[in-house]
Amino acid sequence: MNLFLGIDFGTSGARAIVIDAEATIQTEIKYPWEISDDWVDVWQQALFTLLASIPAALRQRIKAIAINGTSSTVLLVDAAGKPVDAPLLYNDARGSVMLEQLKSIAPENHTVVSATSSLAKLLWMSQLSTFSQAIYFLHQADWLAFLLHGHLGISDYHNALKLGYDVEELKYPQWLENLHIPIQLPEVLPPGKPIGKLTPEIAAKFGLPHDCLVCTGTTDSIAAFLASGAKSPGEAVTSLGSTLVLKLLSRTRVEDARYGIYSHRLGDLWLTGGASNTGGAVLRQFFTDAELKSLSSQIDASTASQLDYYPLLKPGDRFPINDPNLPPRLEPLPDNPVEFLQGLLESIARIEMRGYELLQQMGAEQLTQVYTAGGGAANNTWTAIRERYLKVPVVSSKNTEAAYGTALLAMRGLRSSEF
Ligand code: ADP
């Protein structure tokens, strides 16, 4: 049976997952990394080590590969694909000095008007002395795929969204073209589209089939959405990790940079979403994971708590309340830790509910079902509380690994090439 490989380049490491044609996992390999001052070298090492670590018998049957990177992790490369300077990582905010310029060129409330957007980073990099050596501007996933297929200057419309690419019209908008930035912006294809076969050198080096296709990739959070199993309009994925991230699949697109709301294109549908600073990091401030488990089991999920908090580590939230000074609200503090935890879990569930309400008010599809990912997904008491507020079924994700979602993309890539 044909196999498909998805590789996830996340925030703390890389991971490879090989699936078969029935989407069953055949092998899963992790490659954690430390903070580095040579990221390009770390990524290349991670990619090649992961490929070499897949059992040879599986490697021989891999027919398509796709890679996801972190959104807005970008780099400049020369005509041979060699990076001319250090990449800028997803959370690098040095582009904040370009915000005024961005506001003057991009439409109001556009996704690129953010200190960490790919376009803010490109404008910042265009002032570097090394910029004159650069020919191509690429995202992390584009460059890593290039190492496998050898074609430069190709991206996908998930990675290219925060560069300003118009995912509705499928072209770079005129206001971006008017900037005349002396660099080759990537040609943008749909995610999971075959770009080409492996280079003969890579196929030989890793014992991969010479006709194995390399497909365009995606970003880590969309890959995790794809892994969840959600696919119909109205289905959503809530990530209960350190923060609270909502994604709702919709037939309509919604955008509002003030709330950090934007939509990714997913075939004929739109993946709308927003992220709140509340979430598991606040729970961890008060409880260990073991305490969360034991105290949660003592909560009566069917009865509402009277406590109304807005759990934050520090002032400020953007979604569903856009207020950079919003104070954390964690009072009154009851003596009983079970009561306190119930107040926290209910309050986060209410913020989740308000988030989905806001997306729907802005025109997104009516919520029908919520899949859950992240550390909080295992908490059945919380699931019951959330179901009470959200008034739709709350279910576990099929899989929560981005690498799994990216392997599914690779599978679709091969299938699309067969027609
Ligand atoms: P991230 O990748 O965003 O750092 P994870 O998805 O690994 O986060 O989830 C970690 C979070 O999950 C922690 O902040 C922790 O408070 C929370 N968490 C862990 N166990 C539980 C639990 N039983 N109930 C609720 N939250 C939990």
Q: What is the ipTM of this complex?
A: 0.98
User: pLDDT (tens digit, 9 = 90+) per residue, 261-271?
Assistant: 989 999 899 99
Ligand 1 center–CA 243 separation, angstroms: 9
Residue 78 has pLDDT above 90, yes or no: yes
Nearest residue (CA) to ligand 1, atom 12: 375
Contact yes or no for 357/320 (Cβ under 8 A)? yes
Q: What is the mean pLDDT of residues 310-338?
A: 96
The 3-state DSSP class for residue 410 equals helix
Average pLDDT value over all residues in the chain: 96
User: At residue 117, does pLDDT exceed 80?
Assistant: yes
Lowest mean pLDDT among 81-85, 111-115, 143-147, 183-187: 111-115
> Nearest residue CA, atom 15 of ligand 1?
280
Kindly report the CATH number that applies to the domain delimited by 3-221+402-417: 3.30.420.40
Nearest atom in ligand 1 to 287's CA? 16
Distance CA 389, CA 371 (A): 15
CB of 241 shorter than 6 A to ligand 1? yes
* 3-state DSSP of 40-52: HHHHHHHHHHHHH
Q: How many helices (H) and strands (E) does the chain have?
A: 13, 17
> How many angstroms is it from 287 CA to the middle of ligand 1?
11
323 lines ligand 1 (CB under 6 A): no
257 pLDDT more than 90: no
CB 370 within 8 A of CB 246: no
DSSP state of 306: S
Query: Could you give phi then psi for residue 204, rounded to 5 degrees?
Result: -70, -45
Q: Is the pLDDT of residue 171 over 90?
A: yes
Query: Would 3-221+402-417 and 230-396 be classified into the same CATH topology?
Result: yes
- Residue 297 has what pLDDT? 98
SS3 label, residue 197: strand
**CA-closest residue to ligand 1 atom 19:** 375
Rounded Cα distance between 244 and 333, Å, is 22
Span from the CA of 385 to the centroid of ligand 1 (angstroms): 17
Ligand 1 atom closest to Cα of residue 378: 23
Tell me the per-residue pLDDT of 400-416, one tens digit each, with 9 for 90 and over. 999 999 999 999 999 88
Torsion of CA 235, 239, 244, 249, to 10 degrees: -20
Band the pLDDT of 249: cuts 50, 70, 90. very high
Give me the mean pLDDT over the 16-31 stretch.
98
DSSP 60: T
Cβ-count burial 368-401 (b if 16+ within 10 Å, e if not) = eebbbbbbbbebebbbbbbbbbbebebbebebbb
pLDDT in tens, 27-55: 999 999 999 999 999 999 999 999 999 99
Ligand 1 pocket check for 13: Cβ under 6 Å? no
Residue 390, H or E segment: helix 380-390
Q: How far is the CA of 292 from the centre of ligand 1 (A)?
A: 10
Taking the CA of residue 243 as reference, the ligand 1 atom at the shortest distance is: 3
Once rounded to an integer, what is the mean pLDDT over residues 291-305?
A: 97
C-alpha of residue 241 to centroid of ligand 1, in Å: 5
pLDDT at 419: 56
Q: Is 93 in the pocket of ligand 1 (CB under 6 A)?
A: no
Q: How far is the CA of 234 from the centre of ligand 1 (A)?
A: 25
Nearest-atom number in ligand 1 for the CA of 280 is 14
pLDDT for 151: 98
Place domain 230-396 in its CATH homologous superfamily: ATPase, nucleotide binding domain (3.30.420.40)
What integer is the mean pLDDT of 116-139?
Answer: 97
- 231 CB-side CA count, 13 A: 7
Residue 242 Cβ inside 6 Å of ligand 1? The answer reads yes
The residue-averaged pLDDT of 73-97 equals 97
Helix (H/G/I), strand (E/B), else coil: 399: coil
The structural domains of the chain, with segments of one domain joined by +, span 3-221+402-417, 230-396
The percent of residues in the chain predicted with pLDDT above 90, rounded, is 92
**Residue 293 CA, closest ligand 1 atom number:** 23
Higher pLDDT, 296 or 419: 296
Q: Looking at the predicted structure, is the pLDDT value of residue 260 above 90?
A: no
Q: Is the CB of 311 under 6 A from ligand 1?
A: no
76 - beta bridge partners? 137
pLDDT digit string (tens) for 344-389? 999 999 999 999 999 999 999 999 999 999 899 999 999 999 999 9
What per-residue string of b and e applies to 25-61 under the rule 16 or more CB within 10 Å gives b?
A: ebeebbbebeeeeebbebbeebbeebbeebeeeebeb
| Secondary structure in 3-state letters for 163-174 | HCCECCCCECCH
β-strand pairing of 213-215 with 194-197: antiparallel
